[in-house]
């Protein structure tokens, strides 16, 4: 069983997401959870409350070899990670198509733009063109701070990098261009609550 993806490329997941460092267990800190965990919890909350239907897409893998042991589940024995051709999350909220990528960094002073692939930038630009909402959720893990950055602004900084400029956004640039979301309990990262501010 082989699955062909449009780009056909094999992909190694980036190694630039360092192992979570030990943290003080202050109230509402992320407590060793990944941003993905936090967003999955948040999306579950939204789904259960009927507020939105937003899911993370599965990790794309190219499956090369599958074994079918008798009396048990099929086992994938050889597969490779592939570069995602879209963003990780999409869904519907208040009748609108919503699409975003989520990235975390341990760096305290800037957000590295190499975290965002070129085809993801093209994908989000397409989404905006078709009337959807596209944005980036950034977690500065060491600072326990979360930002929702509209795609249109990300795109400007990404183009600056692509034309030879700075390879990151400074924290001050992120603060200036984003809406900050304070982490809570239920939901964990209430990013939908700030989207109205981005839609102005």
Phi first, then psi: give them for residue 34, nearest 5 degrees.
Answer: -80, 160
User: From the CB of 73, what's the least distance to a copy of itself, in Å?
Assistant: 5
Q: Is 120 annotated as a binding residue?
A: yes
Distance (Å, whole) CA 145 – CA 175: 10
Toward a copy of itself, which CB reaches closer, 6 or 164?
6
Please check whether residue 98 is in contact with residue 54, taking contact to mean a CB–CB distance below 8 angstroms: yes
Distance (Å, whole) CA 180 – CA 194: 8
User: From the CB of 60, what's the least distance to a copy of itself, in Å?
Assistant: 4
Which residues contact residue 103 at a Cβ distance below 8 angstroms, ignoring those fewer than 6 apart? 35, 111, 115, 116, 136, 137, 138, 139
Distance (Å, whole) CA 135 – CA 147: 10
Which stretches of the chain bind a copy of itself, using CB under 8 A? 3, 5-6, 10-13, 40, 44, 47, 50, 52-53, 55, 57-61, 63, 73-82, 85-86, 90-97, 99, 123, 126-127, 129-132
Toward a copy of itself, which CB reaches closer, 15 or 24?
15
Q: Is 118 annotated as a binding residue?
A: no
Toward a copy of itself, which CB reaches closer, 59 or 172?
59
User: From the CB of 84, what's the least distance to a copy of itself, in Å?
Assistant: 8
Binding-site residues from annotation: 86, 88, 101, 120
């Amino acid at each position: 069983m082989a699955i062909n993806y449009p780009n056909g490329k094999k992909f190694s997941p980036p190694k630039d997401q360092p192992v979570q460092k030990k943290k003080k267990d202050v109230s509402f800190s992320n407590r060793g959870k990944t941003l993905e965990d936090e967003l999955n919890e948040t999306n579950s909350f939204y789904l259960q409350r009927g507020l939105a239907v937003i899911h993370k897409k599965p990790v794309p893998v190219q499956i090369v070899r599958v074994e079918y042991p008798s009396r048990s589940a099929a086992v994938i024995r050889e597969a490779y990670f592939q570069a995602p051709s879209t963003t990780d999350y999409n869904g519907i909220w208040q009748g609108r198509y919503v699409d975003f990528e989520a990235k975390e960094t341990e760096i305290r002073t800037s957000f590295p733009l190499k975290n965002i692939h070129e085809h993801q930038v093209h994908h989000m630009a397409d989404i905006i063109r078709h009337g959807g909402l596209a944005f980036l959720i950034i977690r500065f893990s060491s600072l326990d701070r979360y930002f929702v950055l509209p795609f249109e602004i990300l795109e400007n900084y990404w183009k600056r990098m692509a034309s030879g400029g700075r390879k990151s956004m400074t924290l001050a640039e992120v603060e200036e261009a984003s809406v900050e979301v304070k982490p809570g309990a239920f939901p964990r990262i209430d990013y939908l609550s700030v989207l109205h501010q981005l839609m102005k």
